């Protein structure tokens, strides 16, 4: 049975209510229906994005019926393979992201993102590095000093191998002059386990999405050393890596792609529906409700970004000894 965290459930409900409270359909239907696959379990980041897209497309009236399906496993590669190899009954799309790129590379998947048609990059969020409030690590410089002194003595609690937490930790180590293969990275099933590990004193530092740590940072149980984005999170007094002297930025981006077997007319209609969505007040509210960064890129830009990001993540995995 899949568990949904209280925070994830609250975000889902808040998003649904916020979309419902906004103006009714404002645009003509561009597609009668859409099958939208999230390659992960309910409550996950991919699932939350899929359901936000579902809500806005239906509220706008551009796609009156959107069905979300969850297919978890293999870092997203199980869902990707099913999406690419199946013959859709109706127009279909897949939610993709940073972690799926890492999953494809680390599992050496035969099906890759070269087998899909990019539609748009939609949003992102950022990781944070945190320590217990009682830790003697006060700043990012303190962490760097400990890493350089004895990287194995600093344990990192983070998500799956090849995921954004793991890759960000490796890129961070390399950027500050530490061998990424020397870091003591401990895999956890998700942000909730990372949080528990850090609070329990079982890890020196934790790395995960900032929202996983927000409540404990705000109540003083954890100290956030830095966030991985290009800019600070609105309303959060935590420096970026770059502000703290580390020339690195990593965003946990997500986007949407079309089935390679899609009819040209359906693919163009989906592009038009997404273009309408990202300009809408409903989408702006969805981003705000969830604390997401608006990192929209249209199809052509997203295609080029996917290629460059695949190269970047692939090199990071090689540096970490995964590939």
Residue in the block written with tokens 């970004």: 305
Nearest to 222 by CA among 134, 143, 147: 134
CA-CA distance, 258 to 119, in Å (whole number)? 6
**Section 200-204 average pLDDT:** 97
pLDDT in tens, 284-299: 999 999 989 999 999 9
The alpha carbons of the chain give a radius of gyration, in whole angstroms, of: 20
**Average pLDDT of span 196-203:** 96
Q: Is 10 exposed, middle or buried (0-12, 13-18, 19+ CB in 10 A)?
A: exposed
Its pTM stands at: 0.85
Other Cβ atoms closer than 10 A to 270? 28
Higher pLDDT, 74 or 172: 172
Give pLDDT tens digits for 298-321: 999 999 999 999 999 999 999 999
For 229-241, the pLDDT digits (tens) are: 999 998 999 999 9
3-state class (DSSP) for residue 308: helix
- Mean pLDDT along residues 46-57: 97
Asked if pLDDT for residue 23 goes beyond 60, the answer is no
Distance from C-alpha of 297 to C-alpha of 255, rounded to nearest angstrom: 9
In sequence order, what DSSP letters do the residues of 38-71 get, joined into one string?
ESS-TTSHHHHHHHHHHHHHHHHTSSSEEEEEE-
- β-sheet with 252-258: strand ranges across: 65-70, 33-38, 92-97, 252-258, 117-125, 293-297
- By the 8 A CB rule, do 88 and 35 touch? yes
Nearest to 168 by CA among 113, 115, 205: 205
Cα 55 → chain centroid: 19
> Is the Cβ–Cβ distance between 104 and 189 less than 8 Å?
no
**Considering only 39-48, 119-128, 148-157, which range has the smallest mean pLDDT?**
39-48
* Cβ contacts of 15 within 8 Å, gap of 6 or more: 48, 51, 52, 55, 286, 289, 290
26: confidence class by pLDDT, cuts 50, 70, 90: low
Q: Please give the structure tokens belonging to residue 195.
A: 């949080």
**Tens digits of per-residue pLDDT, 115-150?**
999 999 999 999 999 999 999 999 999 999 999 999
Query: How does pLDDT run across 208-237, given as a tens digit for each residue?
Result: 999 899 999 999 999 999 999 999 998 999
Average pLDDT, the chain: 91
- Tell me what the mean pLDDT of segment 20-29 comes to: 54
User: Quick one: pLDDT at residue 27?
Assistant: 62
27, 93, 201, 257, 264 from 79: Cα distances, Å: 31, 11, 35, 13, 23
Q: Which of 30-39, 69-78, 178-187, 263-272 has the lowest mean pLDDT?
A: 69-78
Query: What domains sit in the chain, N to C, each tagged with a CATH number?
Result: 6-125+252-319 (3.40.190.150), 127-227 (3.40.190.10)
Q: What is the DSSP string of 214-234?
A: HHHHHTTSEEEEEE-SSSPPT
Can you tell me the distance from the alpha carbon of 124 to that of 138, in angstroms, rounded to the nearest whole number? 27
If phi > 0 it is left, if psi is from -120 to 50 it is alpha, else beta; for residue 68 that is: beta
Helix, strand, or coil (residue 93) = strand
Residue 318 CA to its chain's centroid (Å): 21
Share of the chain above pLDDT 90, in %: 80
- DSSP notation for 159-205: S-TTSHHHHHHHHHHHHTT--GGGSEEEE-SSHHHHHHHHHTTS-SE
**What's the distance, CA 267 to chain centroid?**
24
77 CB contacts (<8 Å, ≥6 apart)? 39, 100, 103, 104, 107, 109, 111
């Amino acid at each position: 049975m899949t568990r949904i965290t209280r925070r994830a459930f609250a975000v889902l409900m808040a998003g649904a209510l916020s979309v419902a409270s906004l103006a009714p359909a404002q645009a003509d239907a561009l597609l009668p229906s859409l099958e939208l696959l999230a390659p992960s379990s309910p409550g996950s980041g991919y699932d939350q994005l899929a359901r936000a897209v579902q809500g806005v497309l239906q509220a706008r009236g551009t796609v009156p019926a959107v069905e979300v399906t969850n297919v978890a496993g293999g870092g997203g590669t199980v869902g990707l393979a099913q999406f690419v190899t199946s013959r859709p009954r109706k127009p279909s799309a897949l939610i993709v992201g940073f972690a799926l790129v890492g999953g494809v590379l680390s599992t050496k998947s035969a099906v890759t993102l070269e087998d899909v048609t990019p539609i748009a990059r939609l949003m992102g969020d950022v990781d944070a590095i945190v320590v217990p409030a009682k830790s003697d690590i006060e700043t990012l410089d303190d962490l760097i000093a400990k890493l350089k002194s004895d990287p194995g003595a600093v344990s990192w609690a983070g998500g799956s191998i090849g995921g954004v937490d793991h890759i960000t930790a490796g890129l961070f180590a390399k950027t500050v002059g530490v061998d990424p293969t020397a870091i003591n990275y401990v895999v956890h099933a998700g942000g909730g386990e990372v949080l528990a590990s850090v609070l329990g004193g079982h890890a020196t530092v934790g790395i995960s999405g900032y929202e996983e740590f927000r409540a404990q940072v705000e109540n003083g149980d954890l100290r956030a050393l830095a966030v991985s984005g290009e800019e600070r999170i609105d309303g959060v007094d935590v420096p970026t890596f770059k502000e703290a002297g580390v020339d690195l930025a990593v965003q946990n981006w997500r986007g949407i792609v079309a089935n390679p077997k899609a009819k040209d007319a359906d693919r163009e209609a989906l592009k038009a529906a997404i273009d309408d969505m990202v300009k809408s007040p409903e989408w702006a509210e969805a981003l705000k409700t969830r604390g997401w960064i608006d990192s929209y890129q249209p199809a052509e830009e997203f295609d080029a970004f996917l290629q460059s990001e695949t190269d970047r993540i692939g090199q990071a995995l090689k540096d970490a000894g995964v590939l």
